[in-house]
Amino acid sequence: MKKVSLLLIAAFVMSGSVSVFAMDNMSKDECLLMSKNCKDQVDTIQQKVKKLNTEIKKGKKVYTTAELKTLQDKLKETNDMLDTLLKPGK
């Protein structure tokens, strides 16, 4: 009886830690979304595009519809900036 109880407790503790690791992968990037927690974070335009695409792919599992719209707008703005920088000079 004690062994069964210990096994159940151990299984419960382990299942809790696994869900924490899974949630970490599906967390919001507040720096991209609201410019929070961005200490010392400097990305190239290409890195920002990649991060935005990664976050947008997480979809409604992580972000609300309004937050996804914000990320898509930021992606469009970043792509427009990149296009402007890559235009040949006059």
Position 40 scores a pLDDT of: 74
Max CA distance (Å), the chain? 82
For residue 25, the model assigns a pLDDT of: 61
Q: Please report the pLDDT score of residue 18 as a whole number.
A: 46
**Number of structural domains the chain divides into:** 1
pLDDT value, residue 19: 43
Output the DSSP codes for 56-81.
HHHGGGTS-HHHHHHHHHHHHHHHHH
Determine the structural domain holding residue 14 and report its residue range. Answer: 2-86
Distances (CA, A) of 23 to 1, 14, 39, 42, 53: 34, 15, 22, 25, 19
Q: Which residues of the chain have pLDDT under 50?
A: 17-22
> Which pTM was predicted?
0.64
Task: Give the helix ranges, DSSP H, for the chain.
Answer: 2-25, 30-34, 45-58, 65-86
- pLDDT value at position 33? 79
| Chain-centroid distance, C-alpha 14 | 25
Give the pLDDT of residue 21.
44
